[in-house]
Structure 1
Amino acid sequence: MKKILLGFIIMLSTLAYSQNELATSYAEKGRTLVMEKKYQEAVESFDKAIAINPKSALVFHHRGLAKANLKDDSGAILDYNVSIKLDDTDFEVFYNRGVSKYYLKDIESAIKDFDKSISLKSDFANSYLFRGYSYIELQKYSEAVKDLDKGLQLNPKSGSGYINRAIAHIMIGKNKEALDDADKSILYNPDDIRGYNIRGQAKAILEDYKSALEDFTEVINKKPDDAKAFFNRMAVRLNLEDKQGACSDYKMLKNLGEKPNSEMEEYCK
């Protein structure tokens, strides 16, 4: 009986080892699929890994990332929750959960996750940057600037960091600082039209209307249905006493579905 029992134990041990290998294989395949941006296939591979081994914090974390890339932030958060329950020492999973909460507009809860991420790793730029973005959502612009200062110190090439700090600077009346940040945003991320929009606004506030006009025109060239850019350019043209240009922009605003303005209707007769 002892020999049979020993053989049975060895067989179970070998089977367990084989199952763990299979779970690891599915997990590795899932990570490869994420890198290839095949997110749905990655989720399916992680599903198989979890079915075999539901105790891996890392696999739940990675499945959450795949779901987040599929814009399933609610599903991602459920996976991050399990991952954190299994292992609450990974700064990155708190950061990623915070990002998903940010996009779901659960801002105060997102900030708590960024706080935790920073407490676990104090030199990770993105935790400060996203906490700064979150403070902007709450209209806490001074707090946002402090976090964005730190994030940009750690990652001085973040175009999104500069554009968000420019927004915060505009909102607290630091227009020259906003102008400098918008310049850097455009330098590091020239495809983000927000940089041109904010720079144009800062220039207009500083009464550099001709240069502001160029920025708003650049936005319109990149995004011809941007009503905000047409409105801003119209305002600049009014300050430049360019009636024809202002009325042309007003006409475009109406074509884009904006409500008629009685003063502009009278002005453009």
Structure 2
Amino acid sequence: MKSFFSILFVTLFSISSVSAQNSGKLTKTGKDLIEQNDFSAALVKLNEAIELDKENAMAYYLRGVIKNRLGDEIGALKDLDMSVKYNPVLHQAYFERGNVNYELLRFESAIKDYSKTLEINDDMIDAYYNRGQAKLRISAYNEAIGDCDKIIEKNPKSVDAYFLRGIIKIEYGMLEAGCKDLSKAGELGDLKAYDEINAKCKSVRY
């Protein structure tokens, strides 16, 4: 009897292992199709991957990315929730969920997701940038400036960080400092910074 159950266990384990492997292959194919902007074919492969492995966090994440790109934010959130459920350290899923929440104007939720992203991977500069934007939307100016500071600390030539920090400082009433940041952004190649300078900084000497 023990031998029978041992054989049954090994058989079931083998089937499960093969299903997971096949699910992984389908997920990779789906990812490749996303990179080719073939979302329809990618969805087919990712659906098949999830059918084979209901706990395939990467497949849920990628399907959530597609749904978000196609404008189905609610569907995207459901998939991204499943992704982090099955892989709580998949920082890309938290980041994408933050983007969806931002688009839905759920800025507090977006900030939490970006913060979780950075808790797992603090080198993800886009998460600092997007979190800074979300903080700006709720008038958390000092914290938003802090996120820009962090980006510049990691990448002193980050055009976007100087531009965003300049805008935030001006909104916060730090006109001279904000104009200096916009000037730096322009110096680094962001020509739209000069539009902001011409609109807001003519009275400032810096």
Report the TM-score, using the length of structure 2 for normalisation: 0.82
Residues 1:206 and 2:198 are matched in the alignment: no
User: Number of paired residues?
Assistant: 206
Tell me the equivalent position of 2:144: 144
- Structure 2 residue 107 is matched with structure 1 residue 132: no
Q: CA deviation at 1:207?
A: 8.0
Q: Which has the higher contact order (CA 8 A, sep 6+)?
A: 2
3-state DSSP class of the match of 2:182? helix
Q: 1:113 to 1:41 in 2, by over 3 A?
A: same
SS in 2 for 1:204: coil
Which whole-Å CA distance do the structure 2 matches of 1:198 and 1:180 have between them?
11
Q: Summarize the alignment of residues 89-238 of structure 1 with structure 2, pairs less than 5 Å apart.
A: 89-187=89-187, 190=190, 193=192, 195-206=193-204
1:79 equivalent in alignment to 2:71:
no
The equivalences for 1:25-104 within 5 A come to: 25-104=25-104
Extract unaligned runs of 5+ from structure 1: 209-269
Identity %: 25
For the Cα contact (< 8 Å) 1:23–1:53, is it kept in 2?
Answer: yes
Shift of 1:108: 0.8
User: Partners in 2 of 1:159 and 1:72 — Cα distance?
Assistant: 31
**Inter-partner Cα distance in structure 1 for 2:115 and 2:97:** 12
CA distance in structure 1 between the partners assigned to 2:178 and 2:36 by the alignment: 37
CA distance in 1, matches of 2:95, 2:135: 15
Task: Say which one has the larger Rg.
Answer: 1
Counterpart code for 1:196: Y
Q: Give the whole-Å Cα distance in 2 for the aligned partners of 1:31 and 1:55.
A: 17
SS of the residue corresponding to residue 201 of structure 2 reads helix
After TM superposition, the score normalised by the length of structure 1 is: 0.65
**Deviation at 1:189?**
5.8
Change (3 A) 1:37 1:187: farther
Alpha-carbon distance change, 55 to 179 in structure 1, aligned in 2, over 3 angstroms: same
Deviations 1:184-225 (A, max 9, x none): 43455647x4x23322223234289xxxxxxxxxxxxxxxxx
Do the aligned partners of residues 125 and 2 (structure 1) sit closer, same or farther apart at CA in structure 2, a change above 3 Å counting? closer
Does the CA-based 8 Å contact 1:178-1:199 persist in structure 2?
no
Deviation at 1:9, TM superposition (A): 7.5
Stretches of structure 2 lacking an aligned partner (at least 5 in a row)? none
**1:18 CA displacement:** 4.3
RMSD: 3.1
CA contact (8 A) 1:39 1:69 kept: no
> 2:132–2:143: 8 Å Cα contact kept in structure 1?
yes
Provide Cα deviations, 1:73-113, integer angstroms capped at 9, x if missing partner. 33222111001111212333222211211121100111111
**Aligned residue type for 2:194:** Y
Residue identity opposite 1:50 in structure 2: I
Contact 1:118 1:127 in 2 (8 A): yes
CA–CA separation in structure 2 for the residues paired with 1:12 and 1:204: 73
The letter of the residue matching 1:72 is D
> In structure 1, the residue corresponding to 2:198 is in which secondary structure?
helix
The answer to whether the Cα contact below 8 Å between 2:27 and 2:58 also exists between their aligned partners in 1 is no
Q: Distance in 2 between matches of 1:182 and 1:44?
A: 46
Q: 1:124 to 1:6 in 2, by over 3 A?
A: closer
